[in-house]
Amino acid sequence: MFTLKRTAIFAALGLVACVTPPQQQSATRAPALGVPMSADELAAWDISIPPSGAGLPAGGGTARQGQTVYDQKCAACHGLKGVGNPADALAGGKGTLDSKTPLRTVGSYWPYATTLFDYVRRAMPITNPLSLTNDEVYAVSAYVLYLNGIVAEDAPINAQTLPLAKMPNRDGFIDDWRPRAAR
Amino acid sequence: MSKERKVGRREFLKQGSMLLTGAAASSALAPGAAAQNLAGEPWERVYGAAFTLYGERSRFEHPVVRRIVKRYGDFAPGSGVALSPIESLEGIITPSSLHNVRSHSGTPDIDPKRHQLVLHGLVARPMRFSVDALLRYPMVTRIHFLECSGNSGRALAPQPTQAPAGFLHGNMACSEWTGIPVRTLLEEAGVLPQAKWLLAEGADSAHMSRSIPLEKILDDALIALYQNGERLRPEQGYPVRLLLPGWEGNMNVKWLRRLKLLEEPMYTKDETSKYTDLLPDGRALQFTFEMGVKSVITKPSSTMTLPRAGLYEISGLAWSGAGRIRRVEVSTDGGVTWRDAALTGEERLKAFVRFRLPWEWKGDEARLQSRATDEKGQVQPARSDWLAQYSPANTFHNNSIVTWSVGADGSVKHVYA
């Protein structure tokens, strides 16, 4: 009785007509304040490199060149030849993943070499990120791959060759983003 | 005019000091008067402190602090975690100052006037938003937990670590978040049909980045600008962070600077080399986004002492990345018998629920456990069942049942059961 009466009052006031689903509200009532960006502007922001290598910049380097960069800018945290301490080990550990003490490194664990370039460029060295040239990033990536026996010491690593590096644990991952209840 | 004002102020102060002198004088005139026999602590006999611009807790509560674990020592002091002291907190909202923090390259000092959020990739209209622009969008407010997927990894040591509950399980927190549904901005940019994933990237010096299924973004993802009523704290992503209710903490990218619509995941460092769950056979689960159903008793808990036998309240937190908590059972005999606890906040999705159960401790040895069930029917697993699923090196997604033992002397210890 009360509910009926209240509905009638709301209808009389025209309030019922104002109730629209929340999704429609967000679609129709947002202020649209985004500023358009050109491809040139976006190039400076888009630093992500997928496994295909799309977006890798020009330039290149070899492991031999990369060792110089590594010893100066990486070894203090990652150890000479990527043995680790205090930061993560970058080399070794192949064949340990199913043991009681697995060692997960770029060589034993990482599925894509492109991720190495992406991460070094965006975040390393930890105290001075975005400071390496693209050639240095290629070269130091080549060196870490070389330490893991993935590329030769003088192999040119660049936008064409990096995505082709054959990572030992490429097929070691199972995609499972279903809700847990559905597993 | 200004001179008159100054005089006026000086006069006021002079009058005030005369009043104080007068009060002291009258008390001196009446030694042993009735007023002296009234109850009253020292702070009841002096004028209280002045107002403060930004509130602070009692100085007596200063020992309640986060515990900091630096992943690489003082060389990179902002890489690691600050763990919430859950054993000292009550209710379901974590104070912003005691919220857990997981950061990969420290906390950036971002000028909101310069910060931009870029939205591009598989969209019809790539665009950027200033923070001022974002603040003008219609917002929603929701209460959600955040839990690092490495939370409770410290409860996997070979021997149970004798540390407070917060050190073991405090890499989590729950806040009220206010922000813009991400879909609002996506609608403005116009998502192209082939888009299936979205890369989120932070403006910290790690440029932390994760790939997120578009399905999740359209479901309940927020561009959060406020936490517990005020603008985000720097440690929580000021001026803008992504909020993915119920999913791994690290995916809730802080200091959000870029969203890129993609056909496939980017396979970033933090979704391949980290935050993947190693299995006994050496393969690893990837993209295990949702945080499992879980609970922990915070009171009484490890390192506390029950002073004497008597009535206690067992109190703790329960949560699930899948939705609502439906039930929390508590055992005081190591899982032989269970009783349902009373719940607070169970109507909320992906939020902390506080559970409570009165407990008469007779002074005997006891083993306290809690077991949560969510609305999808998922039950918090026993420790042995959880361990059997993974490599011994895996520290992610430990949602197994926690056991605290109570000795006859009242001491509460962390044990494995």
Which chain A residues are within 8 Å of B189, Cβ to Cβ?
34
* Residue B303 · residue B164 · CB < 8 Å: yes
Say which of A36, A86, A99 has its CB closest to residue B75.
A86
Give A64 to chain B, closest Cα distance, Å: 24
* Per-residue pLDDT at B16 exceeds 90: no
Residues 119-158 of B with CB under 8 A from A: 119-120, 125-130, 133-134, 136-138
* Per-residue pLDDT at B104 exceeds 50: yes
Which chain B residues are within 8 Å of A50, Cβ to Cβ?
262, 264, 266-267
* Per-residue pLDDT at A77 exceeds 70: yes
* Per-residue pLDDT at A10 exceeds 70: no
d(CA A137, CA A118) in angstroms, rounded, equals 9
- CA B317 to chain CA mean position, Å: 12
Find the residue in B nearest to A110 (Cα): B273
The pLDDT assigned to B382 comes to 98
CB contact under 8 A, A106 and B273: yes
d(CA B380, CA B391) in angstroms, rounded, equals 19
**ipTM computed for the complex:** 0.88
Question: Cis bond leading into A86, ω under 30°?
Answer: yes
| pLDDT tier, B5 (very low <50, low <70, confident <90, very high otherwise) | very low
CB contact under 8 A, B267 and A111: yes
pLDDT tens for each residue of B313-342 = 999 999 999 999 999 999 999 999 999 999
Instruction: Read off the tokens for A82.
Output: 């990527």
| pLDDT tier, A3 (very low <50, low <70, confident <90, very high otherwise) | very low
Pinpoint the alpha helices (H) of A46-171: 63-73, 75-78, 113-123, 134-147
State chain B's mean pLDDT as an integer.
93
| Best B207, B258, B264 residue to mutate vs chain A (most A CBs within 10 Å) | B207
Which chain A residues are within 8 Å of B207, Cβ to Cβ?
47, 122-123, 129
| pLDDT tier, B14 (very low <50, low <70, confident <90, very high otherwise) | very low
Instruction: Read off the tokens for B230.
Output: 């005020």
d(CA A138, CA A57) in angstroms, rounded, equals 10
pLDDT tens for each residue of B199-236 = 999 999 999 999 999 999 999 999 999 999 999 999 99
Residue type at position A88: D
CB contact under 8 A, A33 and B137: yes
pLDDT tens for each residue of B44-73 = 999 999 999 999 999 999 999 999 999 888
* Residue B144 · residue B103 · CB < 8 Å: no
Of A87, A133, A129, nearest in space to A106 by CA: A87
d(CA B371, CA B327) in angstroms, rounded, equals 8
Cβ–Cβ contact B289 with A under 8 A: yes
Give A130 to chain B, closest Cα distance, Å: 8
If 0-12 CB within 10 Å is exposed, 13-18 middle and 19+ buried, where does residue B194 land?
A: exposed
d(CA B200, CA B186) in angstroms, rounded, equals 13
Cβ–Cβ contact B372 with A under 8 A: no
With residue B161 as reference, give the H or E element that holds it.
none
Cβ–Cβ contact B199 with A under 8 A: yes
d(CA A103, CA A97) in angstroms, rounded, equals 7
Q: In the 3-class helix/strand/coil scheme, how is B288-318 assigned residue by residue?
A: CCECCCEEEEEECCCCCECCCCEEEEEEEEE
Helix (H, G, I), strand (E, B) or coil at B170: coil
CB contact under 8 A, A31 and B137: yes
The pLDDT assigned to B31 comes to 53
| Inter-axis angle of helices A113-123 and A134-147, nearest 10 | 130
Share of chain B above pLDDT 90, in %: 90
Q: Which residue has the tokens 């890489």?
A: B79
d(CA B142, CA B220) in angstroms, rounded, equals 10
CA-atom Rg of chain B in angstroms: 26
CB contact under 8 A, B321 and A51: no
Instruction: Tally A–B CB contacts below 8 A.
Output: 179
* Per-residue pLDDT at B37 exceeds 70: yes
Give A117 to chain B, closest Cα distance, Å: 10
| pLDDT tier, B30 (very low <50, low <70, confident <90, very high otherwise) | low
Say which of A31, A48, A177 has its CB closest to residue B136.
A31
The pLDDT assigned to B411 comes to 98
If 0-12 CB within 10 Å is exposed, 13-18 middle and 19+ buried, where does residue B266 land?
A: buried
Q: Which residue has the tokens 């004002």?
A: B5
Averaged pLDDT for residues B137-143: 98
d(CA B228, CA B309) in angstroms, rounded, equals 38
* Residue A61 · residue A52 · CB < 8 Å: no
* Residue B371 · residue B380 · CB < 8 Å: yes
| pLDDT tier, A176 (very low <50, low <70, confident <90, very high otherwise) | confident
d(CA B102, CA B106) in angstroms, rounded, equals 9
pLDDT tens for each residue of A133-165 = 999 999 999 999 999 999 999 999 999 999 999
Residue B137 Ramachandran class (φ > 0 left, ψ -120 to 50 alpha, else beta): beta
Find the residue in B nearest to A96 (Cα): B282
**β-bridge mates for residue B241, sequence order:** B224
State chain A's mean pLDDT as an integer.
87
The pLDDT assigned to B357 comes to 98
Share of chain B above pLDDT 70, in %: 92
* Per-residue pLDDT at B398 exceeds 90: yes
Q: Which residue has the tokens 């200063």?
A: B62
Find the residue in A nearest to B374 (Cα): A181
d(CA A127, CA B277) in angstroms, rounded, equals 29
Helix (H, G, I), strand (E, B) or coil at B31: coil
